[in-house]
């Protein structure tokens, strides 16, 4: 029963401590040998790279053990949730290459069941209605070393609790007037066991259940039961939920009390959440960036969201490979974003065509090349993969080269162009620079060169060594393109972890630079999301704003691999 794309499984999934735990369960034939995991997002934002890590982990466990993985929307808070998010989450999971078991599940589908279990808890003296405000309840929590204070409503009779809970459901009370709490232990060393909230009143329509409910279960009351209802065998979650585990187990113990033994009683296993430097990874903060207009939307290519990475030019393979390289840890750490960049570079290097595009154009006039002559030269598409073939490129008297490939006063070790120096225009001829012209402001406007007709690429008669190769595009054939160069969104390594400072204090004002480039004519018909290597510059991807009148590219990543160097 493995419907997931086999390609999605990293070739050799490294063994990790979660595998060891599952292997142990299987060897004891727990849950009849079944493995069912789930990815349980709250639909209150778009997925980010941390979620992608969790998705890769859960779905690859299902693949490894021939089990399945559910997609469940933990939609318990109608105030923050929206169908836009539900849709984007499904799109992102599919795009990453995974298929969930059956239909997507929703915690809201379990509201009736959760309600009747709450009634069961009340009947068994394990839950009570509290009339105190959230602030008062919080003030009675105590500290980890001092016990909390019991609510004056804690010992209400079962009848009164049943009546009040029913009336909460019927809409008789305003938000905040009453809550349902579990009756556990106000002196427990685990703060989560000190009579946690189970239900609160929210008079707001839900994107799925409409006006049916005005009481909504707390995440902690709903989450573990969602897993239980679905028969999830291994609930993988991040470390901060380790301390919630006793509470989740307590709720299930109350629910199964007096019932027949359930077929599946799963367990929770925690792993360290993914943190990346130079970004933030909380939906609340990402939403702030969107709402304050700091980025253009959830899919802004600078966002660490799955949709942002996709628009930026990342491939599902590169993200899965990244998740695999990061591995599964038991302790929180911070991963260098350069590792993510190296994964996309590695993938695109093999897969995409290398094209000529000049991102900072400087015109070069080849004075001894006939004015109206045009010819075609051949360039191979990717030296890493011959099967990708080659293409023809027009060459003419005027070409654009990169401004920084020319220097007026070049130091000895400058391997590019300066007056008197010869080098090769890639795939075409060797040229020698003969001079340049400056405008009134002293900026070089154009440069002049002569070419040697004997040196056409592939010619075997040239015996002298031509050092240095640069890329170019024929001026008259070049296509104009807008190129969006991205830098890090934050100029601080850990923008969300600074005392007395907000992540917004560290926004990099230069995270987006828009430039006018000249690209080879074969790119004219490139489609949205098509990816290329601009020779010697970096990897680029056609943006969704691109039209047949206006080509727009996003820079996915620069060519230089700073990560590889570090190793
Ligand atoms: P955020 O803190 O960004 O709002 P969240 O944990 O509230 O995220 P959920 O929708 O509850 O978001 O997350 C769904 C699943 O994704 C959970 O199982 C959660 O553990 C996992 N997850 C969220 N963030 C990360 C992360 N940074 N690394 C690994 N897993 C993550
Ligand atoms: Mg959460």
* C-beta of 283 in contact with ligand 1 (< 6 A): yes
Residues 466 and 491 in one domain: no
Q: Which atom of ligand 1 is nearest to the CA of 273?
A: 28
C-alpha 46 to ligand 2 mean position (Å): 12
Q: What is the CATH number of the domain that holds 244?
A: 3.40.50.620
Residues 335 and 369 in one domain: no
* C-beta of 41 in contact with ligand 1 (< 6 A): yes
Contact 361, 446 (CB under 8 A): no
User: Hey, what are 218's tokens?
Assistant: 């707390």
Which of 26, 2, 36, 27 is closest to 228 using CA atoms?
Answer: 36
Which of 15, 90, 93 is closest to 319 using CA atoms?
Answer: 93
* Domain assignment of residue 211, yes or no: yes
C-alpha 567 to ligand 2 mean position (Å): 34
Question: Domain boundary at 477, 494, 520, which?
Answer: 477
The number of domains in the chain is 3
Q: Would you tell me how many other CB atoms lie within 10 Å of the CB of residue 111?
A: 21
Query: To which H or E segment does residue 237 belong?
Result: strand 234-238
Residues 404 and 416 in one domain: yes
Contact 220, 193 (CB under 8 A): no
Q: What is the pLDDT along the chain (567 residues), one digit of tens a residue?
A: 344 444 444 444 568 999 999 999 999 999 999 999 999 999 999 999 999 999 999 999 999 999 999 999 999 999 998 999 999 999 999 999 999 999 999 999 999 999 999 999 999 999 999 999 999 999 999 999 999 999 999 999 999 999 999 999 999 999 999 999 999 999 999 999 999 999 999 999 999 999 999 999 999 999 999 999 999 999 999 999 999 999 999 999 999 999 999 999 999 999 999 999 999 999 999 999 999 999 999 999 999 999 999 999 999 999 999 999 999 999 988 999 999 999 999 999 999 999 999 999 999 999 999 999 999 999 999 999 999 999 999 999 999 999 999 999 988 888 899 999 999 999 999 999 999 999 999 999 999 999 999 999 877 777 788 889 999 999 999 999 999 999 999 999 999 999 999 999 999 999 999 999 999 999 999 999 999 999 999 999 999 999 989 999 999 999 986 545 444
Q: Whose CA is nearest to atom 18 of ligand 1?
A: 237
C-alpha 299 to ligand 2 mean position (Å): 20
Place of tokens 């402001």: 441
Query: b/e string for 155-178 if b means 16 or more Cβ within 10 A?
Result: ebeeeebeebbeebbeeebeeeeb
* Domain assignment of residue 277, yes or no: no
Catalytic residues: 42, 273, 283
C-alpha 348 to ligand 1 mean position (Å): 28
Residue 50's φ and ψ, nearest 5 degrees, are -65, -40
Residue 169's φ and ψ, nearest 5 degrees, are -65, -35
SS3 string, 535-551, reads CCCEEEEECCCCCCCCE
* Domain assignment of residue 493, yes or no: yes
Contact 270, 234 (CB under 8 A): no
Residues 528 and 462 in one domain: no
Tell me the ligand closest to 43's alpha carbon: 1
Q: Where are the beta strands (DSSP E) in 367-521?
A: 375-380, 390-395, 398-402, 422-425, 430-438, 444-452, 469-470, 473-474, 479-486, 512-519
Residues 139 and 160 in one domain: yes
* C-beta of 274 in contact with ligand 1 (< 6 A): yes
* Domain assignment of residue 460, yes or no: yes
Spatial CB neighbours of 392, under 8 Å, sequence gap ≥ 6: 376, 377, 378
* Domain assignment of residue 345, yes or no: yes
Residues 134 and 233 in one domain: yes
Residues 192 and 74 in one domain: yes
Residue 218 CA to residue 220 CA, distance in Å, equals 5
Residues 456 and 506 in one domain: no
Q: How many residues does the chain have?
A: 567
User: Hey, what are 198's tokens?
Assistant: 């189970």
User: Hey, what are 555's tokens?
Assistant: 């820079």
Q: What is the pTM of this model?
A: 0.93
Site to substitute for ligand 1 among 45, 49, 53, 54, most atoms within 8 A of C-beta: 54
Question: Domain boundary at 249, 271, 293, which?
Answer: 271
- pLDDT value for 419: 95
Residues 395 and 454 in one domain: yes
Residue 35 CA to residue 62 CA, distance in Å, equals 7
Contact 106, 137 (CB under 8 A): no
Query: To which H or E segment does residue 71 belong?
Result: strand 68-73
* Domain assignment of residue 223, yes or no: yes
> In angstroms, how far is CA 422 from the centroid of its own chain?
45
Q: Which atom of ligand 1 is nearest to the CA of 282?
A: 3
Question: Domain boundary at 477, 508, 532, which?
Answer: 477
Residues 258 and 160 in one domain: yes
Residues 89 and 220 in one domain: yes
Residue 92 CA to residue 306 CA, distance in Å, equals 6
Q: What is the CATH number of the domain that holds 456?
A: 2.40.240.10
Domain boundaries, position 127: 6-271
Residues 202 and 140 in one domain: yes
Q: Would you tell me how many other CB atoms lie within 10 Å of the CB of residue 551?
A: 20
């Amino acid at each position: 029963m493995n419907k997931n794309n086999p390609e999605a499984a990293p070739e050799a999934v490294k063994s990790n401590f979660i595998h060891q735990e599952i292997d142990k369960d299987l060897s004891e034939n727990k849950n009849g040998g079944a493995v069912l995991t789930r990815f349980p997002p709250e639909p209150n934002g778009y997925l980010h790279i941390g979620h992608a890590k969790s998705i890769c982990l859960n779905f690859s466990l299902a693949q490894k053990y021939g089990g399945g993985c559910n997609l469940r929307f933990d939609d318990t808070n109608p105030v923050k949730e929206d169908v836009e998010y539900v849709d984007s989450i499904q799109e992102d999971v599919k795009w990453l290459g995974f298929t969930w078991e059956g239909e997507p599940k929703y915690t809201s589908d379990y509201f009736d069941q959760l309600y009747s279990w709450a009634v069961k808890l009340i009947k068994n003296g394990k839950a009570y209605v509290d009339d105190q405000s959230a602030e008062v309840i919080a003030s009675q929590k105590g500290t980890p070393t001092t016990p909390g204070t019991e609510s004056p409503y804690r010992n209400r009779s079962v009848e009164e609790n049943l009546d009040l809970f029913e009336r909460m459901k019927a809409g008789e009370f305003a938000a905040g007037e009453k809550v349902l709490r579990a009756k556990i232990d106000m002196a427990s060393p685990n703060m989560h066991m000190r009579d946690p909230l189970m239900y609160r009143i929210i008079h707001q329509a839900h994107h799925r259940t409409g006006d049916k409910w005005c009481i909504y279960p707390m995440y902690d009351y709903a989450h573990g039961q969602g897993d239980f209802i679905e028969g999830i065998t291994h609930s993988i979650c991040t470390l901060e939920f380790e301390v919630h585990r006793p509470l989740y187990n307590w709720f299930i113990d109350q629910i199964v009390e007096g019932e027949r033994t359930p077929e599946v009683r799963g367990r929770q296993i925690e792993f360290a959440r993914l943190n990346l430097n130079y970004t933030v990874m909380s939906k609340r903060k990402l939403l702030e960036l969107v709402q304050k207009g700091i980025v253009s939307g959830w899919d802004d290519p600078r966002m660490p969201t799955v949709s942002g990475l996709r628009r930026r030019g990342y491939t599902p393979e590169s993200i899965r490979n990244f998740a695999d390289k990061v591995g599964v840890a038991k302790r929180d750490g911070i991963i260098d974003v350069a590792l993510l960049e190296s994964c996309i570079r590695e993938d695109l290097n093999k897969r995409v065509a290398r094209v000529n595009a000049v991102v900072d154009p400087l015109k070069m006039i080849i004075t001894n090349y006939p004015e109206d002559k045009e010819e075609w030269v051949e360039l191979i598409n990717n030296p890493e993969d011959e099967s990708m073939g080659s293409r023809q490129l027009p060459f003419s008297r005027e070409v654009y080269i990169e401004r920084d490939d020319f220097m007026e006063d070049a130091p000895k070790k400058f391997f590019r162009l300066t007056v008197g120096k010869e080098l090769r225009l890639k795939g075409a001829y060797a040229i020698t620079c003969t001079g340049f012209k400056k405008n009134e402001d002293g900026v070089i406007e154009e440069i002049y060169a002569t070419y040697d007709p004997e040196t056409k690429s592939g010619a075997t008669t040239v015996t002298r060594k031509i050092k240095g190769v640069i890329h170019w595009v024929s001026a008259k054939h070049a296509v104009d393109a807008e190129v969006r160069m991205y830098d890090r969104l934050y100029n601080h390594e850990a923008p969300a972890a600074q005392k007395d400072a907000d992540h917004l204090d560290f926004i990099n004002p230069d995270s987006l630079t828009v430039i006018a480039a000249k690209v080879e004519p074969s790119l004219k018909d490139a489609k949205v999301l098509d990816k290329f290597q601009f020779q010697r510059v970096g990897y680029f991807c056609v943006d969704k704003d691109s039209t047949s009148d206006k080509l727009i590219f996003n820079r996915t990543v620069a060519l230089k691999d700073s990560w590889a160097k570090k190793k």
